[in-house]
Amino acid sequence: MLAFEPTSTFARQLDAQDPLHTFKNDFHFPQHEGRNAIYFCGNSLGLQPKAVANAIQTELNSWQQLAVGGYFGGTNPWLYYQDYCKPTLAKLVGASTQEVTVMNALTVNLHLLMLSFYKPNGKRYKILMEAGAFPSDQYAVETQVRQYGFNPDEAIVEIAPRAGEKTLRTADIIESINTHAEELALVMFAGMNYYTGQLFDMAAITKAGHAAGAMVGFDLAHVTGNVPVQLHGWNVDFAAWCSYKYLNAGPGAVGGVFVHEKHAQNVQLGRLGGWWGNDEKTRFKMEKGFVPKADASGWCMSTSQVMNTVCLKASLEMFEQAGIENLRAKSIRLTAYLQYLLQQLPNLSFEIITPENPDERGAQLSLYFKENGRAIHDAMHAAGIIVDYREPGVIRVAPAPMYCSFEDVYRFYEILKTQF
């Protein structure tokens, strides 16, 4: 383990050794007093890749010049538009290209996948999730169980950290799954908690969920593009994520889904259908009888959302070049350096509630301030540091490895050291 130093010279040395350093130049940064702001908010909205303007123009040109012909002609025929994202997404989440697709948006996709994978049956009707899950996930699960006539207080099992602790222990998650084994229909967890930045042991959760006889799905909003995962190998049943956080695909970008091939190939599996989930060969015959594609695209419904997917397509080309394993290796160092520097700030009183073990976190560190969290966040903002604040008391600091440098982390520390 390399010994870190709290100096700008040292930070610049780390940048000089970083093979991904030049990707920074391929993004637009918000400006603060004539220079790039320090942007540690890619866990909320990733920066705009410079390549997206041209990518959008390409599709505008197809529409302008070919109109409806753009579905079959032009640079990227729209008929297959979702397919262009699959190879890189498959690498990011550890899946085959048949197991992933893009469609709709995250919460919508959670609902659609729960329609297929949450099948309450007799006393097996409960959904187990983490307490303090992202609100949209809570609402989604609550309204799903209500839809079947259950009382959310009975049908939803929430696992909370132990008294005095801020994160969950894997052993407690597994114990809870075992305790409720006979009643669980679904284990629906975040891959990473948005508030604490804790990365869960998805392999262990999946194994325990299956041993209990339940389906297991993950919300990977904070994982995809941040930490590589092995959804196929871990035998995860399904997953969904958004593309505007670490994937840098812009506000409201198309969402991504994973369906394990053992389910994706089963065209009998219940779902809500639409023509884009039907084989292209028969799609335009306009006949009766929905025959889903035997892969994850069998869950697609509507015409490919080209304008909503184009930025993701452009951004994924950068992930393809950088390589998720390289990004992760840099991210582990970058976040470790951030943690090291934060520990050299005697005048600011906070606790890092994100786990210290790199296997249990991604890029984000969550700083918990007993008091003044909001005011300290606002002062950081005024000093050109873009981070965010989440009640109660947490400033989330997430140096995305694609476009954040060790020098950014050092500047962040220097501002905190001099101003607080």
Considering the rule CB under 6 A, would residue 136 count as an interface residue with ligand PLP? yes
Other beta carbons within 10 angstroms of residue 181's beta carbon come to 15
Q: Which is nearer to ligand PLP, 219 or 237 (CB)?
A: 219
Considering the rule CB under 6 A, would residue 239 count as an interface residue with ligand PLP? no
Of residues 52, 100, 105, 367, which one binds ligand PLP by CB under 6 A? 105
Q: What residues contact residue 101 under an 8 Å CB cut-off, 6+ apart?
A: 82, 86, 256, 257, 295, 296, 297, 299, 300
Q: Take residue 176 and report the two structure tokens written for it.
A: 């809870």
**Cβ atoms of 264 and 296 closer than 8 Å:** yes
DSSP 360-398: GB-S-EEEE-SS-HHHHHHHHHHTTEE-EEETTTEEEEB
Q: What residues contact residue 53 under an 8 Å CB cut-off, 6+ apart?
A: none
Stretch of 95-103, 133-141, 203-211, 355-363 lying at the interface with ligand PLP (CB under 6 A) = 133-141
6 marked as part of a ligand binding site: no
275 marked as part of a ligand binding site: yes
Considering the rule CB under 6 A, would residue 222 count as an interface residue with ligand PLP? yes
Considering the rule CB under 6 A, would residue 219 count as an interface residue with ligand PLP? yes
The SS3 assignment for 295 reads coil
CA atoms within 13 A on the CB side of 137: 28
Considering the rule CB under 6 A, would residue 229 count as an interface residue with ligand PLP? no
| Minimal distance, residue 136 CB to ligand PLP, in Å | 4
Q: Which is nearer to ligand PLP, 125 or 241 (CB)?
A: 241
Q: Spell out, one character per residue from 173 to 192, where the chain touches ligand PLP: x when CB under 6 A holds, - when not.
A: -----------------x--
Of residues 38, 55, 173, 242, which one binds ligand PLP by CB under 6 A? 242
Q: Please state, in angstroms and as integers, the Cα–Cα distance from residue 130 to each residue in 54, 153, 159, 172, 355, following that order.
A: 41, 14, 5, 11, 16
179 marked as part of a ligand binding site: no
219 marked as part of a ligand binding site: yes
The SS3 assignment for 336 reads helix
302 marked as part of a ligand binding site: no
Considering the rule CB under 6 A, would residue 107 count as an interface residue with ligand PLP? yes
Q: Which is nearer to ligand PLP, 48 or 405 (CB)?
A: 48
Considering the rule CB under 6 A, would residue 134 count as an interface residue with ligand PLP? yes
Q: What share of the chain is helix, strand, coil (3-state, %, to 5)?
A: 45, 15, 40
| Minimal distance, residue 252 CB to ligand PLP, in Å | 8
107 marked as part of a ligand binding site: yes
Kind and range of the H or E element at 414?
helix 406-419
Q: Judge residue 190's burial from the number of C-beta atoms within 10 Å of its C-beta, 0-12 exposed, 13-18 middle, 19 or more buried.
A: buried
Q: Please state, in angstroms and as integers, the Cα–Cα distance from residue 236 to each residue in 135, 142, 242, 257, 311, following that order.
A: 23, 22, 18, 12, 28
Q: Which is nearer to ligand PLP, 251 or 289 (CB)?
A: 251
Count of residues engaged in binding ligand PLP, rule: CB under 6 A: 12
Length of the chain, in residues:
420
Of residues 41, 106, 306, 395, which one binds ligand PLP by CB under 6 A? 106
Considering the rule CB under 6 A, would residue 130 count as an interface residue with ligand PLP? no
Binding residue ranges for pyridoxal 5'-phosphate:
106-107, 134-137, 219, 222, 244, 275, 303
The residues that touch ligand PLP, with contacts defined as CB under 6 A, are: 105-107, 134, 136-137, 190, 194, 219, 221-222, 242
